A and B are shown apart, each in its own frame.
Chain A
Amino acid sequence: MRSAFTWAALAALIAVPVALAAASPWLGYRGFAYITGGFAGIFALCLLLIQPLLAAGYLPGLRGSKGRLWHRRAGIALVALTALHIAGLWVTSPPDTLDALLLRSPTPFSVWGFISLWGIAATALLVALRRKLPPRCWRWAHNALAALVVLATVLHAVQIEGAMELISKWTLCIAALAATAAALIDLRLLRR
């Protein structure tokens, strides 16, 4: 019963913003690359809600090693979606995308996208170096980067006027922040 409720809540937190974005009238005025890039960003944001839940073993049926396996898979998907997000925007408007990547964009949310991008890239590098670092250091570095990526992505997303509907976007963002905070406190302070 409780596990069904957890999964239903997670499904709703993700499905509602995705469905409302898919119903946005603005999509009708956009090309394939822009829509693809935009939704890659939305799905990446959804993964940032799932990742801490998997890491801390909060999802029924996906605890322990199973949860860690899916956490790794979701991490790979997050890197791929980030790449697709930038590729889609690049095809749509190279100068706007270049401005964002070079930190000279007029939009205030671009700097947070930039921080999130390099936070995700640094995390991927850290994962590749896992066996070369002491486990304690590795975990702290991974947690710090994860917190930075979630916070930066949320600040990126909430300032964008785009396909996402406002209330469902904020709900998803607050849920991702809450899940991240809960997992970090749980893993680093309570369960040590």
Chain B
Amino acid sequence: MLMPRRHFLVTASAAAAALSLPATARAASLAPTSSMRGGANNYRPGAPIVERLGSGFTVHGKVLRAADGRPLEGRRIQIWAATTLGGEREPRNHGSVLTRADGSFALEMEQIVPNFGQPHAHLAYDDGEFETVFLRPVMPSPRDTSVRADFVLA
């Protein structure tokens, strides 16, 4: 099929504009994070804000707002996991941290150990301002000394 050159250019530029327009309009917004399966298991609402739960292992990440992609400061992230102190229901394995100005957070705790077949952490945002999100990141290796989970809240 042959197409006149002008016709082709018009069609091509229109297609390019159609493809790029929504992208520029949405440039700053991000897809919100969905809760993961099993993320809320053994959740104990209202974990106390702590300096640390132990040492040797870090759970960290970032919290952003879906609408404009900006970091959210001072939001509470609740964290729990099975560690060398005991299982996921052990109270000493539950704690909360607040996000910093750049939206980042980190909590040092005891080494996470495999629980129910996978080494993993649990994180929750559950404070009402945005939709509740429960995450359950899995460590590639049980010998890892950190695990990351990011939140995009809507």
Contact = CB atoms under 8 A, between A and B. Distances in A.
A112 to B, nearest CB: 11
A96 B36 CA distance: 13
B119 interface: yes
A161 B88 contact: no
A31 B87 CA distance: 8
B86 A95 contact: no
Interface residues of A, number: 22
Contacts of A93: 41-42, 87-89, 115-116
B87 A92 contact: yes
Contact of B86 (A31, A96, A107, A161): A31
Nearest to B117: A160
B34 interface: no
A95 B122 CA distance: 13
Interface in A147-167: 159-162
Interface in A129-147: none
By secondary structure, the B interface counts as loop
Interface residues of B, number: 23
A5 interface: no
Interface string B67-94: 0000000000000001111111100000
B38 interface: yes
Contacts of A89: 116
Interface string B98-124: 000000000000000111111100000
A58 B98 CA distance: 63
A30 B37 contact: no
Interface stretch (A10-18, A44-52, A77-85, A98-106): A98-106
- In the complex, which of the residues B38, B42, B136 has the most CB atoms of chain A within 10 Å of its own CB atom? B38
B7 to A, nearest CB: 52
Contacts of B84: 28-29
A107 B117 contact: yes
Nearest to A31: B87
B117 A161 contact: yes
Interface of B: 36-38, 40-42, 82-89, 113-119, 136, 142
Interface of A: 26, 28-31, 34, 89, 92-93, 95-96, 99, 104-107, 109-110, 159-162
21 contacts: A26-B113, A26-B114, A29-B83, A29-B85, A34-B87, A93-B42, A93-B87, A93-B88, A93-B89, A95-B38, A96-B38, A96-B42, A96-B116, A99-B41, A105-B37, A106-B36, A109-B117, A160-B117, A161-B117, A161-B142, A162-B117
